[in-house]
Structure 1
Amino acid sequence: MSPIQRLLSKLYWRSDDELQRLSQRGVKPFLELVVHEEATAWSRFEMPLGRRVWLWRHGFISQADVLYDVDERTRHRYLSSYQRELTRPINGQWRTALQNKLLFHRLLQPFDAHRSTVHGHLHRGQFTAVDAPESDSNGEAKNANDRTTDSVARVKEYLTSANRLVLKPIYGVSGNRVLICSVTDGSYSVNGEERSEREFEELVASLDGYLVCEYVEQADYADDLFRDSSNTIRVLTMWDPDTDEPFIADAVHRIGTERSAPRDNWSRGGLSAAIDRSTGRLGEGVQYPYDGSLEWHSTHPETGNAIAGSEVPGWEAVKEKLTALAGRFPQIPYVGWDIVVTDPGEFTVIEGNTCSGVRVFQVHRPLLADPRVRRFYEHHDVI
């Protein structure tokens, strides 16, 4: 028997907790990990086969070897990749309200101060207004029939007025297919790439199932972190099954880079900095280890501006307001909120996530080290 065969045989016959859970819950989550994550990570994260198999056996994929300080002693402190897949059913049928960005926007209608404006919906070349009623130059409401519903004309109209717009699919994650558009003196740009007017029109005409959203202007401190992206905070809230109230499990500040701009997504090359939940102070920023190793930055690697030690202005008020907002939705106990701080203590919700990624949190600190967080996942049969 070859060394690989002996290793696989040992893996097969060892009946530890993770393998028992895998057999009880089905192999679909594991297969999804292999197809979507592990297949692309194999060559990026080099390690002995024995180490890789150890990670698999405990529900982790190869990137955990670099992202986390995980070994036999610490593995129970981290939510594994497999366990993260098991969080998908937590919100039940209400997860649709988070997956569908238009529905989520409607859900937040009673909290208008914390939601961005959605001008309209693009469907098969047609524009349908979503938020504010149409008005003429005198501010008088106009009948929708008096305005063209052509998607290209309406998007150009809003873009010319605001200079920047966000076009995003109703369904989508990780910033995929999000288009940040701008126009200056008749010159168009989409995600930082120049487009001719004709190219821009053709792009808009091709969009189906998209929302036309305002570009939310961030507070000065976020501009100081990195000016060329909207730098959002991902806040993970959970509903405590014992106290019957929501709490903030963790929070990180995402910061754009030249690689990710005009977006800030960690998976696209942005930085993640832990937020001290008591003070709102940022720690060092870190990028996803595309080259197989982590690099920590106390200052922005491109601008030199401070990251570590920066503070979210009005953090205590942000926490209170967001926790109160989460408290209005006990039927949705698990939400990853993406917010933009607009002024001290004020924020706009960009979107909510029903199955938040956890790497962006756990690269800084293990989630399950917090007893309250562990209790939540136990209650929902994730661990």
Structure 2
Amino acid sequence: MNSERLVGLLRGSHRLLDRTRRGARRVLTEYRRFAEKEVLTWEKAWLSMPIRRRLWLWRHGFLSQADVFYNVDETNYHQYFSDFQRERAYWINDEQREALNNKLFFHWMLEPFADQRVETYGVLKRGRFHDLRSLEADGGDVVMTGEHGTTDAATWITERLREEGALMLKPWRGSGGMGVTRCSYADGQYRIDGEERPRDDFESVVDGLDGYLVSEVVEQAAYAAELFPDAANTLRVLTMYDDQRGEPFIAAAAHRIGTRRSAPVDNFTNGGLAAGVDPETGRLTAGFQFPFSGSLDWHETHPDTGARITGTTVPGWPAIREQLLEMAATFSHTPYIGWDLVVTEEGEFTVIEGNNAPNIRFFQVHGPLLDDRRVRRFYERHGIVPGE
């Protein structure tokens, strides 16, 4: 064997070993995340069930709460996209997933669609407000390019609130509405999530926020405000890119609706409602709440406002769907996106954030996701579910 061939074999072996190690790390990460989420569900709502049933769910890739969300058994479990498969789907977007995991990066990603993105003023970091024009991305980090455009965080927030009345502050990382804060000013009073705070206390809270985006409060359309006025009631739309047809499609859609328990956010795990949305018509089904009590509570009308949920249609849905698919086509290199958007007027919307490998529970409550042949083929082509 000559030296060149030996070197080639050694390099090939090294690459194979490196891929094997990366694959092993991914698998360990997937199992760890699955276990962590199972424990988290116990903290949210402990479900009593025979240990044999719990083990059966785990063995088939489902968290215990799937026993409440789905009518899953030996005859149909393969039709449902499991919780463990969701962990595997985390890698579908490759390195582009970072743009979805980081709200600041996602804001930059939406530059071609400025009319559809939420207006974001800057970042709170270590007691300073940094104008977005003073920030640059460096790999996975955000670095400051200088003091130009920065000021004391509390000073900027209090002055801006006197002009606009309200602002949204949210961590540039995280999900589930954790840490999202609505601050406001009216009649000489500062408020955080509706609670009055003395100015010194308010400024102390703002100064303590690190790695937060400062954004406008998006005014939702009348239909959404009628459902529940004290939260931005968002649509979650799951798009997938079909590389066979060279086009994206909407795999599922749901409408989250805030409640007194979840306000100022609408998140399902905080007590908000989730209603299904017909991808063709934009028509809503009944809404349901997270099973804190151990069972799903269904609501055809809102439990706090009395507004009708079932049968409500998202105004201008065909135009919204067309625009969203155009955006998903532009980002074909990121083929798996969960879009959170607020409908602002008929046929118009603002994207709040994007999600990598989003939670699909409130889609599948209405029926197994893998029953859709196009959805199943997408996951098959990405190696997440086995071929039929």
TM-score band, normalised by shorter chain: 0.7 to 0.9
Alpha-carbon deviation of 1:29?
Answer: 1.7
Gaps of 5+ in 2: 1-22, 135-145
Q: Secondary structure at the match of 2:155?
A: helix
Q: How far apart in 2 are the matches of 1:36 and 1:263?
A: 21
Find the counterpart in structure 1 of residue 78 from structure 2: 76
Per-residue CA distance 1:8-41 (angstroms, 9 max, x = gap): xxxxxxxxxxxxxx99973432232222324642
Which residue number in structure 2 is paired with residue 281 of structure 1? 283
TM-score (norm 1): 0.88
1:33 aligns with 2:40: no
Counterpart for residue 103 of structure 1: 105
Aligned-partner residue type, residue 351 of structure 2: V
| Change over 3 Å in CA distance of 1:98–1:23 after alignment to 2 | closer
| Contact 2:286-2:300 within 8 A present in 1 as well | yes
The one-letter code sitting in structure 2 at the alignment partner of 1:173 is S
Q: How far apart, in 1, do the equivalents of 2:212 and 2:237 lie? A: 25
Counterparts in 2 of 1:40 and 1:247: CA distance versus 1, 3 Å: closer
Give, as a single letter, the amino acid of the residue that structure 2 aligns with 1:282: L
- Find the aligned partners of 1:148 and 1:176 in 2 and give their Cα distance: 26
Deviation per CA, 1:44-72: give whole Å up to 9, x if none.
21111111111111001110000011111
Q: Match of 1:293, SS? A: coil
Counterparts of 1:51 and 1:376 in 2: how far apart (Å)?
A: 30
Could you tell me which residue of structure 2 aligns to residue 59 of structure 1?
61
Pick from 164, 176, 189: which aligns with 1:174?
Answer: 176
Aligned mates of 1:197, 1:32 — CA distance in 2:
41
Equivalent residues in 2 for 1:114-263 (5 A)?
A: 114-130=116-132, 149-263=151-265
- Maintained 8 Å contact 1:38/1:62: no
Decide whether the 8 Å contact of 1:187 with 1:196 is kept in 2: yes
State the partner residue of 1:17.
Answer: none
Letter in 2 for 1:358: I
* Amino acid aligned to 2:37: H
Establish whether residue 303 from structure 1 lines up as the match of residue 305 from structure 2. yes
1:78-106: CA deviation from partner (whole Å, max 9, x where unpaired): 11111000011110001111111111111
Number of equivalences: 351
Change (3 A) 1:53 1:124: same
Q: Is the 8 A contact 2:130 2:149 kept in 1?
A: no
1:321 to 320, 323, 326: 323
Contact in 1 for aligned 2:224/2:233 (Cα 8 Å): yes
Paired residues of 1:181 and 1:191 also in contact (CA < 8 A): yes
Distance in 2 (CA, whole Å) between partners of 1:148 and 1:111 is 26
Greater shift, 156-165 or 190-199, is seen at 190-199
Structure 1 148/368 Cα, relative in aligned 2: closer, same or farther at 3 Å?
A: closer
The alpha-carbon deviation at position 191 of structure 1 amounts to: 2.0
The percentage of counterpart residues that share the same residue type is 51
Indicate the larger mover: 291-300 or 176-185: 176-185
Distance 1:25 1:130 in 2: 34
Q: Distance in 1 between matches of 2:195 and 2:292?
A: 23
Amino acid at match of 2:31: F
Q: Secondary structure at the match of 2:276?
A: strand
Q: Whole-Å Cα distance in 1 between the matches of residues 64 and 42 of structure 2?
A: 7
Cα pair distance change 1:145/1:96, threshold 3 Å: closer
CA distance in 2, matches of 1:241, 1:72: 32
Corresponding letter in the other structure for 2:33: E
Q: 1:123 Cα deviation (Å)?
A: 1.6
Q: Describe the shift of the 1:161–1:48 C-alpha distance in structure 2 as closer, same or farther (beyond 3 A).
A: same
Q: Distance in 2 between matches of 1:23 and 1:148?
A: 44
Please give the alpha-carbon distance, in whole angstroms, between the structure 1 residues aligned to 2:147 and 2:27. Answer: 53
Query: For residues 312-346 of structure 1, what are the alpha-carbon distances to aligned partners after superposition, in whole Å with 9 as ceiling and x for unaligned?
Result: 00000000000001100111000000000000000
Cα gap change, 1:31 to 1:248, in 2 (>3 Å): same
Q: Distance in 2 between matches of 1:265 and 1:199?
A: 27
Paired residue for 2:87, among 85, 88, 99? 85
CA shift for structure 1 position 257? 0.4
Deviation at 1:145, TM superposition (A): 8.2
Cα RMSD after superposing both structures: 2.0
Partner of 1:9: none
Q: In structure 2, how many angstroms separate the alpha carbons of the residues matched to 1:37 and 1:47?
A: 14
- Residues in 2 aligned to 1:152 and 1:24: alpha-carbon distance in whole angstroms: 42
Contact kept, 8 Å, 1:118 with 1:131, in 2: the verdict is: no
Comparing 287-296 and 194-203, the one that deviates more: 194-203
In the alignment, the residues of structure 2 paired with residue 165 and residue 221 of structure 1 have an alpha-carbon distance, to the nearest angstrom, of 22
